[in-house]
Structure 1
Amino acid sequence: MKLILKILAALVALLLIAILVLVLFFDLNMLKPRIEAAARAQGVDLRIGGDIGWTFWPSVGVAVSDIRVAPVATPEEVLAELDKASLLVELMPLFKGNVVVHHVLVDGARIDLKVDRQGNGNWEKLTAEKVPADVAQQQTGAGADGAAPGEPAAAEGQELQLSVERISLSNSALNYNDEQSGQRIALEDIRLDVNQFNLQAQPFDVSVALKTRLESEGSAPMNIALQSGNRVQLQSDLNGAKITGGELNLVINDSGKLAATYEVNLNDLQGDLRFDGSVKVPAFDAKALLGALGTPLQTRESYALTKVALDTRVVGNKNSLQAEPLTITLDKTNLTGSFAISDFSRMAMKLAIKGDQLIADDYLAPEAQTTAAPAAGTGGSTTAGGAAVAVDDGDEELIPLDVLKTLNLDASLDFDKITFADIPLEAIRVRLNAANGQVNLTQTDARVYDGTLAAKGSLDARGNTAVIRFDSALTNVQIEPAMKALELGDNFGIAGGINANLQANTRGITMNQLVDGLQANADFTGAHVRFSPLNIEQKFCELVDLVNKSDTAGLASWDPFTEMRELSGKITMANSVVNVESIKAGVHQLELGTNGKIDLAAGGYDLLLPMKLLNEETSENGCRVPGNYWINRSLSLLRCHGSLETLNPLTDCRPDSKGLANLTKDFAEFKLREKHGDKIDAAEQKVDQKKEELLQKLDKKLGGDGDSDAAKSLLKGLLKGGSRSSAATEE
């Protein structure tokens, strides 16, 4: 035993002597010229201003300080600097081929990358002027395999057992300045801490913290503070990794905050990368985040976009990504579904979302901040041979045609209920696909006001102008609640169910152009539709009384509405003008027609309401109009015109003065003939006889056969007192 102890003591003594001799007689600073020369051979101007020294506690190691890196051609342009770095290793494992590192420390690393106005990066100069290989070998004294003379090359096939107790990077920065694009990126206060790093598939901790400043010409700078913590497990062959307990926290411009937790498995890192994991984003204030990003957003309701959260599992590879199940919380709305990118090169996306209830109105801009669209004709585009000619729309935002041309999307949206423009839509189903510059709305179905809505449409962005087509159908939609939702029922009301079909199209490169260029046509039908407070039957009877000089209308008791037993019509729209081509309605024994126009740009309307009586009695409780004159005769009696903003049928609908004047004259002639019909017929017969006699005399004068065209023409001139009558008189 004593012998063994003596031997061990001798070995320790020899080891200490060897270390002491190494430190006392081998100065690492002697390697500085060789290291700098080797770097210069590679086009790098490396300068070590501080000492390279040994450290012995708590482990053997090497420390270096004051390092700077620049291109050989321009040594004054410093790319990187380092205040100090050190490497501490355990000595005994080295004899077994293992590297056990206590601490790798890098402090005060600064890297400056620049791109000039010609697009050249300063780092490109590092390899622009390399020293020839034979000269480099002479300068460094290295062997062909890169090892110093007498130093054995690394044993091939030997598995490296590497473990590092701690890796630290502190007080470091990276700056990127692109003079060509005006973009500047600064990473400051970079801190990296790795504990128990190893290649034996054992987990170790990694934490990162840094501050980023992004600057671009024409936009405000953005400051981002990032903190991240992860537990990482690397496979020994570096072909796989597992990250657990991942946490990420971002603070943008001191006010926008976003956090996330995640886990991910990475496989086949050196080949066909595959990954799977989970991501959870706790509720955050998206409105504050948008404001911090320089896009402040005001919503009609203050709660909107203040509570947004996400939870999903992801799986994918280098070419694809799928997030399913996908759970999103949008304030009071819960969304579930999936999202996938099947091909990153084509950005082929697929989205399927199901939601419960969404009040879309709450996310619109406050009413006080909405900007009215300019009147028709103030902006937009004209077309020549189908090609759009852009006109000046000021600062109006253009339709993103370039984005639409690259969009590759297949989307389905299903909601229990969406409220838009105060209109409640239920059981909504939307199907949309986009590819090669064409966006197709293949299905839109919803229940609305006890009826149904169905719509299809398309947007063609392949040219230099967006072309939109849209078809929709309404079935048995109740009008009265829709009027209330649109706040159109202050002075009048419409109740009952309506069916309608609409076809519309437009084109343009701005929203104003799309609105101004809208062309549409629609037809509609309805049954038992009630219009108030105007009573059409009462107005008819009052106007007939006015012509008849009677008072039958005053004897009846009138309801404050018009009940239409049937309704049908057709309208068209172009240049912001709605043309009412025809509206027909049955009101008891009256047939009501409507035609005219509604000028949306000017905010006014002008409609004529011709009426036809089918029976002597307008209705059982209406008025009686005796005489054959009024039956089955289209009568222009009523005209409605005024402002759309103050629309009021009671004040806007008045007797049609022109139509009423013509009716009064025609009715007077009718009454005259009715009273003196025999005498008028005899007088007309006598006039016709005189005309015939005169025609024959004129024909004889002209040498005709008594029925010539020349005689007829001359007689016509005589009756009108024209120039020919004078000639005939002379003759």
Structure 2
Amino acid sequence: MKAFGKILGLVLLGLLLIVVALGFALTHLFDPNDYKDEIRQIARDKAHIELTLNGDIGWSLFPWLGLELHDAAVATLAKPAEPFADLQMLGLSVRVLPLLRREVQMSDVRVEGLNLRLNRDKDGHGNWEDIGKVPKPATTATPADATSEPEQPTTAQAEKPAQPIRLDIDSLTVNNARVEYSDEKTGKQFSAESIQLSTGPVHDSTNIPVKLTAFLGTNQPVLRVRTELNGELRFERALQRYKLEDMKLSGEVAGDPLQGKTVTFAAQGQLLLDKAANVAEWTGIKVSANQLRALGELKVNDLDKTPQVNGGLSIAQFDLAKFVDSIGQKLPAMAEGSLSKVELATRLTGTPSSLTLDDINLKVDDSTFTGRIAVEDFAKQSLRATLKADTFNVDRYLAPKSAEANSAKQVRQAEVASTEADAMAGAGSTPLPQSPTKEAWSNERLLPVERLSKLDVDADLTFGQLTLEKLPIHNAVLKANGQGGLLTLSSLRGDLYEGNFEAKGTLDVRQQAPVLNMQTQISRVPAEKILESQGKEPPVKGLVTLNSTLTGSGNSQKALIETLNGNASFVINNGVLLNANLEQQLCKGIATLNRKSLSGEPRGKDTPFQELKGNLTFRNGVASNPDLKVRIPGMTVNGDGDIDLRVLGMDYRVGIIVEGDKSDMPDPACQVSEKFVGIQWPLRCRGPLELGAKACRLDNERMGQVASKLAGERISEKIDEKLGDKVSPELKDALKGLFKR
């Protein structure tokens, strides 16, 4: 028995030596380079590819089936002269005996200088679509060919599907590879160059260390990206689960969109793809791009249908203005320090065509927003927003006035100051200015019509305090929507100082000149505060109540004002006409009729009033006010005139009905006798609107009519005194009438 074992051992040793000898003989006596043509033909017949072997083929047989290809290229049979891939060297070795068990055990796999060229032609056909396909014959198929049916698999084949091959590789190395994609129809090109890939042992259900570096590029726009990826790859083919654990991606981006700037980015986390459950996850997200830092998690469901994304995102506080500048972009001009503190936390859901941010907590400088923002359709830019803010200063984020606008404003202020000086000089004896301020409104483009015409938005915003044009608005509410070029302001309301306001309207940008319709209600808001917020010196103080319905068209301030039409009514209560002592002007008129001079200086420069009201009719930028009424202690004022908003000018004829000087120490020169009571004393107010009541002066033309009337009344008194009852009443009335005309 012992001898039998020894004999068996010697036989096995002999067989092994024979196999080794045969392998040595095959590898040394058989040269595969002599059979390149046969190898090419096998590639055509079996793999349906065109294989070009310019370099040598090296090989070994046992115990490793080794293969080395040098300077090889692969093309499709449809275009054999246009290789889509070539390489400098491919080296691999496979253990022979495990192949019999459908196990692939490989040593190091090494690929050098791989070039892969993917091209889509003008008809949209990609060259990779022909890989492994036999070209269609030029002649048409015979009827027998057309009617022949493909061979059906046998029952045994159907019942015994091929089992997956077990993969076992010591390592994989790819050096200096390049992948290029081009689209002839669009002219776009994408490339990945200097690809370096290295892995540890590749086994199913084990972690595989992976390192990948590459330079990515595009031509539309021109971009260059340096990337480096590290992690541990794990695949479980039986469960159809694939993981990339401890993933770290980093790199830099440069190119035309960045205007010479560079973006440094990094991303970390755990990636999972579960094809059996149709789920993908990215957990432990850490992302950075220059100053931006973000954390979060994402999960995608229904990969086999319409993918559904959900997760959370948190962006740490960063300087958005500096970040935008660091990526070569520019924000609209705004106040210094704006957008320097931005922070966001939210839950997100989405699909390939939509994105929703829920439970938003957004901090922008000194403001905090909460609520929801959704883009329901990326293609249509359908925006839906429901936000609530504690406080927000809009002025901080608006563009400052241009140098031209500031210059025009300074010129206008100089003109007003000059006019005011002239008007106030000589105690009101100088003539009225002949024309009001010119070029009061800007011709600059006001609305981004192209963007607004494509807008699909529905917004519901509320603010604890909103600052707009320096006006502090409390409990502000904004509800607006827009679609197809028609924007509707459903409501804009809030509390302003002691009063409140509400506005609604539409903006139609579907036509060449945008059309604006606006309805406004203002209740008991200080008029001077509104005017001061516009940078204007208020001519009046008081609580204003206004109702208006106005329309205009155009895309500049000037165009809108010149086409302004509509109606308005206003009331100002408990007010003051600033820098305008109407009582002093009236005293001057009475003193003139009394042929006396005023003995003292004016006791004040303002005129308080109980109520100022009227109605306005707008026609192409000119507001007609036929029924101005002002109730002032001791007098009543009636007015009739126009306000030309095109040049911010006014022209009013004002009549004052006097009750008399009610002051404790009246000026003797302007004491009112009974014959002056009830007479309407005329003023003319003409000039820049900024002057307000300071532009009002005694109307000398109509003062003559008042003097004639008073002279007629004196003559009538003398007629009554002289004639008494000596003549008939009819004759006396006729004589009086002669002097009253």
Give the 5 Å matches for 1:647-662: 647=691, 649-650=693-694, 652-662=695-705
Matched, 1:237 2:243: no
Matched, 1:277 2:277: no
Contact 2:515 2:554 in 1 (8 A): yes
SS of equivalent residue, structure 1 residue 546: helix
Q: Match of 2:705, as an amino acid?
A: N
Q: Match of 2:233, as an amino acid?
A: Q
Cα distance change of structure 1 residues 689 and 305 upon mapping to structure 2, 3 Å threshold: closer
Give the 5 Å matches for 1:314-463: 314-318=348-352, 320-342=354-376, 348-367=382-401, 369=403, 371=405, 399-401=447-449, 403-463=451-511
Q: Please name the residue that 2:546 is paired with.
A: 500
Write the distance in 2 (CA, Å) between the matches of 1:65 and 1:610. Answer: 107
Q: Please name the residue that 1:607 is paired with.
A: 652
Write the distance in 1 (CA, Å) between the matches of 2:320 and 2:59. Answer: 53
Q: Match of 2:392, as an amino acid?
A: L
Cα shift readout 1:245-290 (whole Å, capped 9, x = no counterpart): 3344446xxxxx6454432112221124222112233334433454
Structure 1 residue 367 displacement after superposition: 3.6
Q: Please name the residue that 2:417 is paired with.
A: none
Structure 1 residue 675 displacement after superposition: 3.3
Write the distance in 1 (CA, Å) between the matches of 2:723 and 2:65. Answer: 137
Contact 2:334 2:396 in 1 (8 A): yes
Q: Match of 1:519, as an amino acid?
A: N
Cα distance change of structure 1 residues 289 and 478 upon mapping to structure 2, 3 Å threshold: same
* 2:614 pairs with one of 569, 580, 587: 569
SS of equivalent residue, structure 2 residue 590: helix
* 1:530 pairs with one of 576, 581, 596: 576
TM-score (norm 2): 0.69
Cα distance change of structure 1 residues 513 and 648 upon mapping to structure 2, 3 Å threshold: closer
Structure 1 residue 533 displacement after superposition: 2.6
User: Which range is displaced more, 420-429 or 341-350?
Assistant: 341-350
Q: Match of 1:657, as an amino acid?
A: N
Cα distance change of structure 1 residues 532 and 294 upon mapping to structure 2, 3 Å threshold: same
Cα shift readout 1:470-511 (whole Å, capped 9, x = no counterpart): 11211121234444444434xx66433221112222223566
Q: Please name the residue that 2:594 is paired with.
A: 548
Q: How many residues align?
A: 638
Q: Please name the residue that 2:244 is paired with.
A: 204
Matched, 1:663 2:732: no
Cα shift readout 1:687-714 (whole Å, capped 9, x = no counterpart): 9999xxxxxxxxxxxxxxxxxxxxxxxx
Q: Please name the residue that 2:424 is paired with.
A: none
* 2:285 pairs with one of 246, 255, 270: 246
Structure 1 residue 588 displacement after superposition: 1.0
Structure 1 residue 413 displacement after superposition: 0.9
Q: Please name the residue that 1:715 is paired with.
A: none
The runs of 5 or more residues in structure 2 that have no matched partner are: 139-148, 152-156, 188-218, 410-441, 736-741
Structure 1 residue 558 displacement after superposition: 3.1
Structure 1 residue 66 displacement after superposition: 5.6
Write the distance in 1 (CA, Å) between the matches of 2:76 and 2:407. Answer: 59
Cα shift readout 1:605-646 (whole Å, capped 9, x = no counterpart): 433332123x3455666677545553334332x23333456x
Write the distance in 1 (CA, Å) between the matches of 2:66 and 2:561. Answer: 74
Cα distance change of structure 1 residues 475 and 685 upon mapping to structure 2, 3 Å threshold: closer
Cα distance change of structure 1 residues 476 and 427 upon mapping to structure 2, 3 Å threshold: same
Contact 1:168 1:194 in 2 (8 A): no
Cα distance change of structure 1 residues 453 and 93 upon mapping to structure 2, 3 Å threshold: farther
Cα distance change of structure 1 residues 610 and 81 upon mapping to structure 2, 3 Å threshold: farther
* 2:676 pairs with one of 621, 624, 630: 630
Cα shift readout 1:21-70 (whole Å, capped 9, x = no counterpart): 8977685995973587479967xx775666676799xx998776666677
Cα distance change of structure 1 residues 622 and 535 upon mapping to structure 2, 3 Å threshold: farther
Q: Please name the residue that 1:693 is paired with.
A: none
Write the distance in 1 (CA, Å) between the matches of 2:562 and 2:93. Answer: 75
Cα shift readout 1:553-596 (whole Å, capped 9, x = no counterpart): 65797343222112212234454444444431100131123343
Quick one: percent identity of the two aligned structures?
23
Write the distance in 2 (CA, Å) between the matches of 1:14 and 1:406. Answer: 82
Write the distance in 1 (CA, Å) between the matches of 2:108 and 2:456. Answer: 50
TM-score (norm 1): 0.70
Write the distance in 2 (CA, Å) between the matches of 1:250 and 1:16. Answer: 59
Structure 1 residue 303 displacement after superposition: 0.8
Contact 1:438 1:460 in 2 (8 A): yes
Cα distance change of structure 1 residues 260 and 155 upon mapping to structure 2, 3 Å threshold: farther
Write the distance in 2 (CA, Å) between the matches of 1:77 and 1:510. Answer: 60
Q: Match of 1:156, as an amino acid?
A: P
Write the distance in 2 (CA, Å) between the matches of 1:354 and 1:101. Answer: 62
Contact 1:163 1:197 in 2 (8 A): no
Cα shift readout 1:394-426 (whole Å, capped 9, x = no counterpart): 997685555444433321111111222221112
Write the distance in 2 (CA, Å) between the matches of 1:130 and 1:374. Answer: 75
Give the 5 Å matches for 1:142-161: 156=161, 158=163
Write the distance in 2 (CA, Å) between the matches of 1:126 and 1:395. Answer: 58
Matched, 1:596 2:641: yes
Q: Match of 1:671, as an amino acid?
A: R
Write the distance in 1 (CA, Å) between the matches of 2:561 and 2:57. Answer: 74
SS of equivalent residue, structure 1 residue 237: coil
Cα distance change of structure 1 residues 529 and 234 upon mapping to structure 2, 3 Å threshold: same
Cα distance change of structure 1 residues 6 and 495 upon mapping to structure 2, 3 Å threshold: farther
Contact 1:483 1:494 in 2 (8 A): no
SS of equivalent residue, structure 1 residue 671: helix
Give the 5 Å matches for 1:64-103: none
Q: Please name the residue that 2:345 is paired with.
A: 311
Contact 1:172 1:190 in 2 (8 A): no
Write the distance in 2 (CA, Å) between the matches of 1:437 and 1:677. Answer: 77
* 1:132 pairs with one of 131, 135, 138: 135
Structure 1 residue 174 displacement after superposition: 4.7
SS of equivalent residue, structure 2 residue 713: helix
Q: Match of 1:195, as an amino acid?
A: E
Write the distance in 1 (CA, Å) between the matches of 2:702 and 2:458. Answer: 58
SS of equivalent residue, structure 2 residue 40: helix
SS of equivalent residue, structure 1 residue 270: coil
Cα distance change of structure 1 residues 221 and 273 upon mapping to structure 2, 3 Å threshold: same
The runs of 5 or more residues in structure 1 that have no matched partner are: 136-143, 147-151, 252-256, 376-393, 691-731
Q: Match of 2:542, as an amino acid?
A: G
SS of equivalent residue, structure 1 residue 565: strand
User: Which range is displaced more, 455-464 or 354-363?
Assistant: 455-464
Matched, 1:639 2:684: yes
Cα distance change of structure 1 residues 509 and 481 upon mapping to structure 2, 3 Å threshold: closer
Write the distance in 1 (CA, Å) between the matches of 2:720 and 2:97. Answer: 138
Contact 1:556 1:621 in 2 (8 A): no
Cα shift readout 1:314-350 (whole Å, capped 9, x = no counterpart): 1234564322112222222222211224456765442
Q: Please name the residue that 1:385 is paired with.
A: none
Query: RMSD of the alignment, in Å?
Result: 5.3
Cα distance change of structure 1 residues 673 and 686 upon mapping to structure 2, 3 Å threshold: closer
